Structure 1
Amino acid sequence: MRVMKWSMIALAVAAGTSQLAVASSQDESKGFIEDSKLNVKTRMLYFSRDFRNNEGGQSRREETGLGFLGTFESGFTQGTVGVGVDAIGMLGLKLDSGKGRAGTGLFPTGSDGRSQDDYSKGGGAVKFRISDTVLKVGDQFTALPVFATDDSRLLPEIAQGTLITSNEIEGLTLHAGHFTSLTAQEQTNRDSFGLKEANVVGGTYAFTDNLSTSLYYSKVEDYWRKYYANVNWALPISDKQGLVFDFNIYDTKSEGSADYLAFDGDKLDNRAFSLSGAYNIGAHTFTLAYQKVTGDGDYGYGIDGGGTIFLANSVARSDFNAEDEKSWQARYDLNFAEYGIPGLTFMTRYVRGTDANVAGTSNGKEWERDVDIKYVLQSGPAKDLSFRVRQATYRSSDGVYYDSPSIDELRLIVEYPLSIL
C-alpha cells in the first residue's frame, strides 16, 4: 500500500525556467570522504490485524519486531566525472510472535509456519556524476510512480538495477532506469518477486513554484506496460490559507505472457485515476478525493514495487483499485504546532468504494476509516525520536477483497533516526 503523498512537486527543482544551471553539483563536490553521510534508523513496530469474520481461516495476526536500517552515502570524487559508492545494511529482530499469529509481513516465515527469529539483508551500489546527472548501478531504494519500493513494514524493499537521474535543466528532473530484481520487505533473497526486467523513463517539470507535472512510462517483462501522468497545483490564498489540487492517472495494459490477469481471466487493459483537493487554513487541512478504475481488471502493481500506486485512495489497508470501482475520500489533518505543541500531528480519513467488479458480484462495496497520531521530539538528546499510532477499520460487502469482510488493524511505531556522519 502507498498512502497518497503530496510530494511529486518536491521531485522538481523549485523555479520554472528552462535555463542551464550556472554551477553544477559536480563542480561543487568536496570529495569522496568530505561529502559522505552515514545514517542509522531504528524502528520498533507492533502490528496487529484482526480478521473478525474469517471463518475457517486465521483470525488474527499479531507480531512485534525491531529493525535497523543503516545507509552509507559517499560523496563524489572531484573532477569532470565524480565516482562514489552507496551501501545498505538491514537487520530485523523478532520480539514477539507465535505460530498462530504469524503472517504480518514483518518476518520471513519458515516451513513450520513460524516467523524467523532474525533476518538481515543489504547491498551496495556504485555511482557516477557528470555535471548534474547521476548514474547509479546496484542496490537502491526507488520512489518513481511506475517503480517504487515499499517501506510499510519493519524493513523496506530493495531494488537492483540501474537508474539515471538528471537535473541539468532548472525545474526539470528526468529519470531512466533498468531493474532486474526486487527484494521484498520480509525476505532476504534478491529476487523475491520473480521480476525479469523492468524499464522505466520519465520526469517531472515545475513550471512555477506552485505548478508541476509528471509523465512516466514503464514496461515490465511478461506483465504490462504503464503510462502515468500527474498534475499538482498549489494555490496560495493568504499567509495561512491555501489550496492544493492533485491529479494522478495510470494506463495499464498486459503484455507478454500476461501473468497478472483480471479475476475472470481477461488481460489487463484499464485506466485508474484520482483527483484530490486539499484546503489548508492554519493548523487545519481538509481534503476530498475521488478515484475511479475503468476497463478490464484491477489496477495491478507489486512486481514493479509495493509502492507503485500513486493514487489518492490507496490508504492503510485497501487501495480501492478493483475493476470498475469508484471511491470517495474525506480527510482531516491537524498540526498541533499552531497550538504550542510542535511535533504532534493528527490525521483521520474515511474512504468508501462502490461498484467494484470482483468475483461473485459486480457491485462490491468496501469502506475504511483510518486514524493516525504522531509525535516527534523536537529537542534534547533524543531529538527526532518519534512515536506513532495507526489504526484502521475496514469493512466490505463480502470477503473477496482481503480474505475477510471485517478487519481491524493497529500499528504502534517507534522510530529513531541517527546521523553519524
Structure 2
Amino acid sequence: MAIVLLSVPLALAIPVASNAGTSEGFMNGSSATLTTRNYFFSRDFSDIAGSNQQSKAQEWAQGFILDFKSGFTPGTLGVGLDAQGLLGIKLDSSPDRVNTGLLPVHGDGKAADDYSRIGVAAKVRYRKTELRFGDLQPNLPILMFSDVRLLPPSYQGVSITSQEVNGLTFQAGHLNSTHLRNEGGDERIQAVLGHLPQRQVNSDGFNYVGGDYVFDDKRTSISTWLGQLEDIYRQGFLGLKHNRPIGDWTAALNLGYFNAREDGDRLLGDIDNQALFSVLSFKRGGHTLSVGYQAMCGDSPFPRVFSNISPLGNETPTYEFAFTDERSWQVRHEYDFAALGLPGLNTSLRWIQGSNVDTGKGYEGREHERDIDVAYVVQSGALKGLGFRLRNAMARSNYRSDVHENRLIFTYSWKLL
C-alpha cells in the first residue's frame, strides 16, 4: 500500500493548466446501456494431466450487463456515480461438464440456475484528476481487464487517474477484494503461476502505480508499472509501442518486459521470473500479419492475479506459454473484410509454438496451439448491431492437458441514455 500512498500526492502536485475543469452535469452527462451476451463454451480435454479428471467442460448461458455512468456535478470539484448490474442465467449444464467459467458451481457439483450482482463506484474529479472508490475495473499491463466469459469481473478498492501533463496518464490504486467472472459475491485475491491457480493462499490486497506516456504524434508510447500482490509477489513492467507508415504498409512494434519476485511473507515461497515479449505487425489494406517471440527466464513461471489474462504477446485464453524457462513463437494473420466491401466481418488465424519448458519432471516441456476466430457485426437493418463471434482452438502439450475448444458468442446492446 505504501507505493500507492506515496504516489497520490505526487500526482496531485504535477502542474496543471490554468483553466479549472468544467462539467456537463450529473444527469446531462450520463449514459446507460444494456448488453446481452449469449455464450456457449465447450472445452474437451483429450489427454488429461493432473488431479482433475473431468474430461469436458461445456455449458451454455445467457448474460445481461446494465451499465450506468453519470456525468459530474458542476464546479471545479465534480462528483459522480457509476453502477453496473449483472445477471447470468443457466441455459444448459451438467455436474460432469461444469467449471467453464460461465456459471458458479454449488457444493453439490451442480451449476447455479442464475447469479447476479450490483456494483457501484463513486467518483470525484478535480481538473484532469479523477478519484474513484467502490467497484472498479482497471485495465493495466500488470492487471488486465479480462472480460472473456459471460459476465465481466471487477475489484473493490480505490484508484486515482491523472492526465494533468499532456500525453501522460498516471494511475495508482489499492484493491482489497475481487468479484470473479462467474460469481455474484466478493472474495480475497489469489494468484496464478504460469497456468496453475494457487487457490491455497489469499492476499490482503493488490497495489499498483504507473503510467503511460504518448508522444511522437501519438505514434509512440512508453509504459512503466509496479504491482504488488501483498505477501505473494511484486512485479515491475516496462513497455514500448510504436507504429509507423512504410509506403502502403503500417508497421507496429510492441515490446514488454516483466520482472517479478516474492513479497512480504512469501505465502507461495520464492518467486523469480523475468518475462520478455515482442510482437511485430505489418498492416496493408485488410491484411495484418504479426510475428511474436516470448521468453520466460528465472526459476518460476509467470505470476499474475487469478483469474486474469496478461498482455504477454503469445498468451491466449487457452494456453499462456508462460511456464518456467519457456520460449515461444507466434505467427498470426488477421483480415478485415471491409477492404472487400463487407464491413463488420473479421477473421483471425494464429499459430503458437512453445518449447524449453522446465517441467520439473526430468524432461523438456513442449506445446503448441492453433486458433481460428470469425466475428461479424450486422451493419444495417432490423438486426443492426447484433454481433457474433466463433472461436475454435486446438492446443497440445506433453506436460499438461490437451485442449480442443469451441466458443460461440452472440451480443447485442441497447443505448438507454
Deviations 1:120-156 (A, max 9, x none): 1121011000001110010021101122332111111
Contact 1:184 1:192 in 2 (8 A): no
CA drift at 1:398:
2.9
From 38, 47, 50, the equivalent of 2:41 is 47
Residue 356 of structure 2 corresponds to residue 355 of structure 1 = yes
Q: State, as a whole percentage, how many aligned pairs show the same letter.
A: 37
Which runs of 5 or more residues in structure 2 are unaligned? 1-13, 190-201
CA drift at 1:407:
1.1
Structure 2 CA distance for partners of 1:68 and 1:361, relative to 1, 3 Å: farther
Contact 2:188 2:204 in 1 (8 A): no
Question: Which residue does the alignment assign to 2:28?
Answer: 34
Structure 2 CA distance for partners of 1:21 and 1:418, relative to 1, 3 Å: farther
From 214, 227, 230, the equivalent of 1:218 is 227
Residue 251 of structure 2 corresponds to residue 249 of structure 1 = no
Deviations 1:383-414 (A, max 9, x none): 22111101110000133xxxx2x210000000
Residue 299 of structure 2 corresponds to residue 292 of structure 1 = no
Residue 67 of structure 2 corresponds to residue 67 of structure 1 = no
Q: How do 1:75-224 and structure 2 match up within 5 A? A: 75-191=71-187, 193=189, 194-208=202-216, 209-224=218-233
Q: How do 1:410-421 and structure 2 match up within 5 A? A: 410-421=406-417
Q: How many residues align?
A: 389
Question: Which residue does the alignment assign to 1:11?
Answer: none
Contact 1:149 1:159 in 2 (8 A): no
Residue 320 of structure 2 corresponds to residue 324 of structure 1 = no
Question: Equivalents in 1 of 2:204, 2:363: separation in Å?
Answer: 34
TM-score (norm 2): 0.90
CA drift at 1:260:
3.1
CA drift at 1:22:
6.9
Q: Please give the secondary structure, in 1, of the residue aligned with 2:181.
A: coil
Residue 291 of structure 2 corresponds to residue 282 of structure 1 = no
Question: Equivalents in 1 of 2:33, 2:186: separation in Å?
Answer: 23
Question: Equivalents in 2 of 1:251, 1:359: separation in Å?
Answer: 22
CA drift at 1:21:
5.3
Question: Which residue does the alignment assign to 2:384?
Answer: 383
Question: Equivalents in 2 of 1:96, 1:252: separation in Å?
Answer: 41
Question: Equivalents in 2 of 1:19, 1:285: separation in Å?
Answer: 41
Question: Equivalents in 1 of 2:182, 2:297: separation in Å?
Answer: 33
Question: Equivalents in 2 of 1:280, 1:414: separation in Å?
Answer: 28
Question: Equivalents in 2 of 1:110, 1:359: separation in Å?
Answer: 34
Contact 2:203 2:231 in 1 (8 A): no
Contact 1:228 1:248 in 2 (8 A): yes
Amino acid at match of 1:207: F
Question: Equivalents in 1 of 2:352, 2:19: separation in Å?
Answer: 47
Contact 2:330 2:352 in 1 (8 A): yes
Question: Which residue does the alignment assign to 1:306?
Answer: 308
Moved more, 132-141 or 56-65: 56-65
Question: Equivalents in 1 of 2:40, 2:378: separation in Å?
Answer: 20
Dislocated runs of 4+, deviation >3 Å: 18-24, 192-195
CA drift at 1:360:
1.3
Contact 2:58 2:93 in 1 (8 A): yes
Which runs of 5 or more residues in structure 1 are unaligned? 1-17, 262-266
